Structure 1
Amino acid sequence: MEPVVILSRQEQEYLLRAIESGLRVASMRQFFLWTQGQLQALLPHQVMVALQFAPSGALRRLECLHATVLAPQAASLLADRRDGLALRIARHCQQGARLPAMAELSDSKVGGKAGGVLGGFEKELREAGFDSVLVHGTGATAEGASVFVLFGLPMRPGPRHAYFLELLLAHLHLALLRLPSPAARRAGGPARPLSERETEIVGWLREGKSNEEMAQILGISALTVKNHLQRIYRLLGVGNRAHALARCLELRLLEA
């Protein structure tokens, strides 16, 4: 028998806010802010990989969403479009109709094991620096299927977290379908590429550093950092730090 999950009043409020916000998502920037904002209140996680499949089963879209800096090796391991960990986990769960699925390493530092459906992925989870994963997907639809893989939950994933993701699944799927195609996003890019210094600043911005902290790291003044940020805002057509970061992720400006 499936365990009964009863939402607290606070969880009901978080769920309602997440659903209401999700209805307005129509761009990659909004999708990033939504998944790293309201969804985190119910399902805190370090990285979400959203995968959209065509009706034929071919991968149509893969988005790797995270609010902190992810090491290039970990990003490649998780989100490679040809053979990344998230893609293989998604296909593994789809083929066996085993959704939702979850796993936790009891102690990744001493070789803890992830049992169950995802038991074969524990080595790669450790290599990527995560000790937990939660997966859910829509199954086949007329538009194809969506699968969402959440890495790095701060608590042990269980039926309660799987239920939260199930409640949000349709809204995640529909929001993903509303996003412009990657080709359309690239076509709407800035007038020029980010400079090397601007890319550095956006990278530290992504890690949550203040102007003063970035100044110390880069060996420049806080005023110079502020001037760089103002130029970045004008280039991207945004007005603040969060929107600048979301716009960079939307246009994949940090992937190069």
Structure 2
Amino acid sequence: MGLLSSLPADHLQRYFRIIQEGLAVRQHFDLLTWLQGEVQHYLPHEIMLVAWGDFNANAIQHDIISPLPGVRTAHSELTGLYPLLRASYNRWVELGRMPCIASASDRLNGEYLVGYEDSRQQCSLGKALLSMRSSLLHGISDKRGRDECLYVIFSSQDKLNDSTLSAMEILLPYLDTAMRRVAPLPQRSCRSSLLALGTESQGLSEREIEIMDWVRKGKTNAEIGSILCISSYTVKNHLHQIFRKLDVYNRVQAVSKVERRARHG
């Protein structure tokens, strides 16, 4: 409580409100809503990249929390992200496992820590990272095991400064607690299987293609909403637009038409 005790009353109230809301997080949509709420006052960002596991053994998993279209865990490949995560982890360790900030011009071992560009990461996440101007990273080590958890936030503006370092130190334990309550999302190829089938030509937006890919896998609106960090109502609205564009009346007809067009080009 050392950092908190030195804050003025209005900031204390805001921090306690943020912490209380964080303790209520149970699923990815809750996590996204929390991070895009008052947390933004102290940790302004568009993308949060989380990686955990045994970094020394190269046995890690990752998760992405972002409101940006298509920037999702399910559409990112760890192989493409690994150089960025490794460089970030190495920097964190070299700085004594303390929070640190990087700008778009910072490099470590030849890798940019912000605006990372890699030919294997040509998806929405890779493109979004190119527009980021600053990042902040911090992590938590498990003293009873070998796992560590690294948190990297990215901002498209140069908003990250010393005050955000202090905020990260205060909020990291509660962020980590919230993350551990949320089941990790499926991880797969950067481009969805529908994109691989060339269905962009059917007039569907990237978000609509995401949704149709999960519809093909038998997911309900609520499940799709949880995976994409949007409400089931928003999924329903997207499906109405998809049906209109495909000139169909239901999910079965939509899936059938998409697959038929994909097979026949």
Quote the Cα distance in structure 1 between the aligned partners of 2:114 and 2:42. Answer: 26
Residue 169 (structure 1) aligns with = 172
Unaligned runs of at least 5 residues, structure 1 = 106-112, 187-192, 207-227, 248-256
Residue 102 (structure 1) aligns with = 101
Deviations 1:181-225 (A, max 9, x none): 446x99xxxxxx9xx79x946727x9xxxxxxxxxxxxxxxxxxx
Quote the Cα distance in structure 1 between the aligned partners of 2:148 and 2:233. Answer: 28
Give matches, 1:108-127, under 5 Å. Answer: 113-114=105-106, 121-122=111-112, 125=115, 127=117
Tell me if 1:203 matches 2:207: yes
Give matches, 1:1-256, under 5 Å. Answer: 7-54=7-54, 58-69=58-69, 80=79, 83-94=82-93, 97-105=96-104, 113-114=105-106, 121-122=111-112, 125=115, 127=117, 128-142=130-144, 144-152=147-155, 154-182=157-185, 200=204, 203=207, 235-237=220-222, 242-244=230-232
1:90 is displaced (CA, Å) by: 2.3
Tell me if the contact between 1:55 and 1:141 (Cα under 8 Å) persists in the aligned partners. Answer: no
The number of residues matched between the two structures is 202
Q: Look up the SS of the partner of 2:142 in the other structure.
A: coil
1:8 is displaced (CA, Å) by: 4.4
TM-score by structure 1 length?
Answer: 0.59
Aligned AA for 1:29?
F
1:15 is displaced (CA, Å) by: 1.5
Deviations 1:62-92 (A, max 9, x none): 11111123679xx859x65662423431243
Identical pairs, percent: 18
Residues 6/59 of structure 1: CA separation in 2 closer, same or farther (3 Å cut): farther
Tell me if the contact between 2:29 and 2:230 (Cα under 8 Å) persists in the aligned partners. Answer: no
Quote the Cα distance in structure 1 between the aligned partners of 2:71 and 2:25. Answer: 28
Tell me if the contact between 1:132 and 1:157 (Cα under 8 Å) persists in the aligned partners. Answer: yes
Q: Look up the SS of the partner of 2:152 in the other structure.
A: strand
Residue 247 (structure 2) aligns with = none
TM-score by structure 2 length?
Answer: 0.57
Aligned AA for 2:144?
A
Quote the Cα distance in structure 2 between the aligned partners of 1:147 and 1:27. Answer: 20
| Larger of the two Rg values belongs to structure | 2
Deviations 1:29-68 (A, max 9, x none): 2222222223223211121101222497554431111112
Quote the Cα distance in structure 1 between the aligned partners of 2:100 and 2:76. Answer: 22
Quote the Cα distance in structure 2 between the aligned partners of 1:162 and 1:246. Answer: 35
Residues 245/167 of structure 1: CA separation in 2 closer, same or farther (3 Å cut): farther
1:28 is displaced (CA, Å) by: 2.2
1:146 is displaced (CA, Å) by: 1.5
Q: Look up the SS of the partner of 1:134 in the other structure.
A: strand
Quote the Cα distance in structure 1 between the aligned partners of 2:26 and 2:138. Answer: 22
Tell me if the contact between 2:22 and 2:174 (Cα under 8 Å) persists in the aligned partners. Answer: yes
Tell me if the contact between 1:26 and 1:179 (Cα under 8 Å) persists in the aligned partners. Answer: yes
Tell me if the contact between 2:84 and 2:116 (Cα under 8 Å) persists in the aligned partners. Answer: no
